[in-house]
Chains A and B, each alone.
Chain A
Amino acid sequence: MAVDKEKDIIINSNEENNDHAELAAAQHFKVISPGRMVAKRFFKSKLSIVGLAMIIFLFLFSFVGPLIVDATWGYKETQVFKIERNSDMITKAEFPGPDGKEYTYYDKSQTLVIFKAPPSAEHWLGTDTSGFDIFTRLMYGGRISLVISFIVIFLETVIGVILGGLAGYFGKWVDQLVMRIVDIFACLPGLPILLVLSATINSIESIPAEHRIYYLMAFLTLMGWTGTARIVRGQILMLREQEYMMAAETTGIRAFHRIFRHLVPNAMPQLIVTATLGLGGVILYESTLSYLGLGVPFPRAAWGSMIALADPSKGQEILANYPNMWVPAGLLIVIAVLGFSFIGDGLRDAFDPRMKR
């Protein structure tokens, strides 16, 4: 019956009633909702799901973990555990004997050691050279790494968007100026400068050790914003040529709204991708600096400084005999960097086929 009714309407209305004919056509297919399109493409790739799982794990580990530890056992990263255990101590000396031959002297004795406890039920990964619980320190270290990387990336993105946006939108001398600044920053060798600066800050006594981390973040930001600025400028140069920007101008939308309602939302996908990919980089940087003793100051935990315990220049002992002290921190760095890269790639592929269909 429904068919008959529709038919009548269509015969009676040749021109006027477009709606019904269109509706009839619309009933025969289903479309996909726009937000889900991106989500679907993202979740289609196994790698991005793996990445997401890695990062979720890290977040739980570093932000929820410390709370649980604190609530159940009531200690923090700098709690010193003195676990007594007997350890074999072998003293070895070589000396020339009265007969002229070389002799080796061994003395095997037992010592009482309170640090460097092996993994146990109470301390899953043991304790380190200062008697801190390694597992707990991994959590706190992750918290520092993630917070630093998010703050740095956020600041980089803000600076990059503002400067890159100005350069791309206004062009001419603004563009020249900004891009030359970017060029200068791109010329600077990042690591050496960071080393020098960190060392300088260390030696200035008026700066308390706890504040060093803020300076560190500022430097990381300063070194990193140029990439974002370049990308934003490129995006805006491309988007500016789109006809909808011209349409915004002909309809007399003011420049502020043109930038923030039209340009920025359309440049957003690209920005999210760059930022995600950048997170891993910052974590690496932070770890490197901590490894070199220039990052987070001592009693506080950082993945980099935890690996630094195994620094071979200070003796092979930890590197060889205590993998529980440095391997987990290394693994977590790998997980963080890989996780962010996987998510970034997944997002890029999800956004990339432009929102047409």
Chain B
Amino acid sequence: MAIEMMEYANNSDNILEVYNLKKYYPISKFVLGKSRSYVKAVDDVSFSIKRGTTMGLVGESGCGKTTVGRTILRLHEVTDGKVFFEGRDLSKIPPARLRKMRPQMQMIFQDPYSSLSPRMPIGEIIGEAVKEHKIVPKSEYRAYILKVMRDCGLQPHFYYRYPHEFSGGQRQRISIARAVALKPKFIICDEPLSALDVSIQAQIINLMKDLQEQYGYTYLFISHDLSVVEYLSDTIGVMYLGSMMEMGDKKKIFANPMHPYTKALLSAVPVSNPDVKMNRIILEGDIPSPVNPPSGCKFRTRCPNAMPICAEKAPVFKEYEENHKVACHLYSQD
């Protein structure tokens, strides 16, 4: 334990450090019986994000990437592990203090239709928390909200409109404005583009980039779309069934993917060029259930390079080159 404690060496460059994060959901069998089995939504995930950079978290549905985001913000209680935000352990902060800290960490949600309360005008949606936390003095409140709206490409006369009058792209801008209005340092973007049209996606990507340049936000960008993650991120983590499979600099991951899952994922992305026929690795089968994940390496049931050892013990998540970690027996053998 002592050694592990030593590892929580907080680096002041990092805005967020996550150590061995676990989130299990119990499945209760009987009404009052104790639950025996768990859905291991996030199982031992560690990473850190440098100030002002973007980390992309990719993986397929059910891999736990959304849960990682929500557990970091303590929207769900952590089962085990540590989350340090600006050097402070979030899991130990009492709820009342946590509420005061909330403005510093914001989130942009996936579904622009359900993330805005249908009975509140836009100005209030954006400004409610600004008032609550007294981000700006009362006299400047309105001007401030209008300025945030302008920053996010929203016209001032939207102030008194209701969400149902807006298209998906504009709603996502409102959602971004709500997060940005609190002057956060760190924003988790949970699939903010997946419900939008291609031409609107590009607008939102640009908006997010502009805001980052202007205000120096740190993003954790959760997405299943590799091309977007590649465009936006500095570092990338690849998740599968609740575990981190590969993590590292974007360039290294895209130029030299090491984990067989990352390779398959990269090759599966359709390319917008009819003449390029990819040498595609098509994975067999489906993602196993997280209630009962395979023994050893979780990916082994679909892995084209599976070996006997993969079933026996889980591979260690190790750094094989600078800023490039992989959990795979292929590289640990020699």
Q: With A and B bound together, what is the CA distance between A119 and B120 in angstroms?
A: 56
On whether the beta carbons of A243 and B118 are closer than 8 Å, the reply is no
How far apart are the CA atoms of A247 and B174 in the complex, in Å?
A: 12
Known: A250-B105, A250-B106, A254-B99. A243 touches B119 (CB 8 A): no
A257 to B70, CA, bound (A): 21
- Report the minimum CB–CB distance from B172 to chain A (whole Å): 12
CB distance from B217 to the nearest CB of A (A): 15
In contact, B128 and A253 (Cβ under 8 angstroms): yes
Contact A247 B109, beta carbon cutoff 8 Å: yes
Interface status of A64 (Cβ within 8 A of chain B): no
In-complex Cβ contact of A262 among B101, B105, B117, B162 (8 A): B117
List of B residues within 8 angstroms of A242 by Cβ: 114-115
Q: Judge whether B164 is part of the interface by a CB distance below 8 angstroms.
A: yes
Kindly supply a per-residue 1/0 record for chain A positions 74-97, scoring 1 wherever the CB is within 8 Å of any chain B CB and 0 otherwise.
000000000000000000000000
Specify the chain A residue showing the minimal Cβ separation from B106: A250
Between A247, A266, A268, A354, the greatest number of chain B beta carbons within 10 A of the residue's beta carbon is seen for A247
The verdict on A243 contacting B182 (CB below 8 Å), with A19-B155, A254-B132 known, is no
B23 at the interface (CB under 8 A from A): no
By a CB distance below 8 angstroms, the chain B residues around A356 are 113, 118, 164
Within 8 A of A (CB), among B92-146: 99-103, 105-107, 109-111, 113-120, 128-129, 132-133
Interface size class of B (residues with CB under 8 A): 35 or more
Smallest Cβ-Cβ distance to A266: which chain B residue: B119
**Interface: A246 (CB within 8 A):** yes
Which residues, 143 to 181 on B, are CB-close (under 8 Å) to A?
153, 155, 162, 164-165, 175, 178-179
Partner among B107, B153, B162 whose Cβ is within 8 Å of the Cβ of A250: B107
Total A-B Cβ pairs within 8 A: 86
Whether B73 is near chain A, meaning CB under 8 Å from some CB there, is: yes
**Interface residue B75 (Cβ < 8 Å from any Cβ of A):** yes
Question: A243 vs B117: C-alpha distance in the bound complex, in angstroms?
Answer: 9
Residue pair A355, B182 in contact (C-beta under 8 Å): no
Interface residues of A in 224-279 (CB under 8 A from B): 242-244, 246-254, 257, 261-262, 265-266, 268
**Whole-angstrom distance from the CB of B143 to the nearest CB of chain A?**
19
For residue A357, CB closer than 8 A to chain B, the reply is yes
Partner of A18, one of B107, B120, B153, B175: B153
Contact (A252, B117) CB under 8 Å given A31-B165, A34-B165, A357-B164: no
Give the Cβ gap from A247 to chain B, nearest Cβ, in Å: 6
Please determine whether B132 and A247 come into contact, CB atoms closer than 8 angstroms.
no
Contact with A251, one of B118, B119, B128, B164 (Cβ below 8 angstroms) = B128
Chain A residue with Cβ nearest B182:
A251
Are the C-beta atoms of B75 and A243 separated by less than 8 Å?
no
- Give the shortest distance, in Å, between B119 (CB) and chain A (any CB): 4
| A247 CA / B119 CA spacing, docked (Å) | 15
Interface-centre pick from A243, A257, A356 (highest chain B CB count, 10 A): A243
A344 to chain B, nearest CB (A): 20
Note all chain A residues with C-beta closer than 8 A to B102. 249-252
Is the Cβ of B165 less than 8 Å from the Cβ of A252?
A: no
Residues of A within 8 A of B (CB): 18-19, 22, 31, 34, 242-244, 246-254, 257, 261-262, 265-266, 268, 354-357
List the 6 shortest-distance A-B pairs measured between CB atoms, nearest first.
A252-B102, A251-B129, A243-B115, A265-B119, A243-B109, A244-B117
